[in-house]
Structure 1
Amino acid sequence: MNLEKVPNQRKLTLCRKYYMAGFALLPFMWAVNAIWFLREAFWAPPYPEQKQIRKYVIISGIGALVWLIGLITWVTVFQQMRSEWGALADRMSFIIPKGVP
């Protein structure tokens, strides 16, 4: 969709929907929102709805970044500690590696 052809009120509505979808444990929606509306929030000529769009873009970007950092941290910890966690880690794994680490 070309955002230049969309009315400003519709842009705000769409941005708000992506922002709210991120709270449904869909941080990818926050990332899409932050990237898709970045130009509209910061570099487009000023219009009344832009302030709210900017707020949603900033919060969406921060939320997506927090989720990304949390996911990377979890994957790193799990990969390094899986063998030490024993049966608990085996129950959390879909694929259990064979052999001794």
Structure 2
Amino acid sequence: MDLSKVPNEKKLYLCRWYFRVGFALLPFVWTVNAIWFFNEAFRKPEYEEQKNIKKYVIMSAIGSSIWFVLLATWITTFQLNRASWGEFADHISFIIPVGTP
């Protein structure tokens, strides 16, 4: 979709909608929202809805960043401790590596 052809009210509606959808544990939507609306929020000449779009872009970027840090922390912790966690790690694993003690 070309945002230059969309009215400002519709841009605000879309930005707000993507932000709210991100709360359904979909941080990828927040990432898309922050990237897609970045130019509208920070590089375009000022217009009435821009202040709210800027707010949603910033909050989407923060939410996406927090999710990324949490996910990276969990993946690192699990990979480093999987073998020492024993049966508990087996129960929460989707794939159990063969041959690993």
TM-score (norm 2): 0.97
Match of 2:37 in 1: 37
Please tell me the residue identity of whatever aligns with 1:11: K
* Paired residues, number: 101
Mapping 1:61-72, distance limit 5 Å:
61-72=61-72
Runs of 4+ with deviation above 6 angstroms: none
Cα offsets for 1:71-94 (capped at 9, x unmatched): 011000000000111111001111
Match of 1:89 in 2: 89
SS in 1 for 2:84: helix
Cα offsets for 1:10-33 (capped at 9, x unmatched): 000000000000111111110000
In structure 1, distance between residues paired with 2:12 and 2:100: 54
SS in 2 for 1:84: coil
Higher helix share: 1
In structure 1, distance between residues paired with 2:89 and 2:30: 30
In structure 2, distance between residues paired with 1:94 and 1:3: 40
In structure 1, distance between residues paired with 2:94 and 2:48: 50
Q: CA deviation at 1:100?
A: 3.5
SS in 2 for 1:72: helix
Identity rate of aligned residues, in percent?
60
Cα offsets for 1:32-61 (capped at 9, x unmatched): 000000000000111000000000000000
Residue 7 of structure 1 pairs with residue 7 of structure 2: yes
In structure 1, distance between residues paired with 2:59 and 2:87: 39
Please tell me the residue identity of whatever aligns with 2:13: T
SS in 1 for 2:96: coil
In structure 1, distance between residues paired with 2:23 and 2:81: 30
In structure 2, distance between residues paired with 1:99 and 1:59: 44
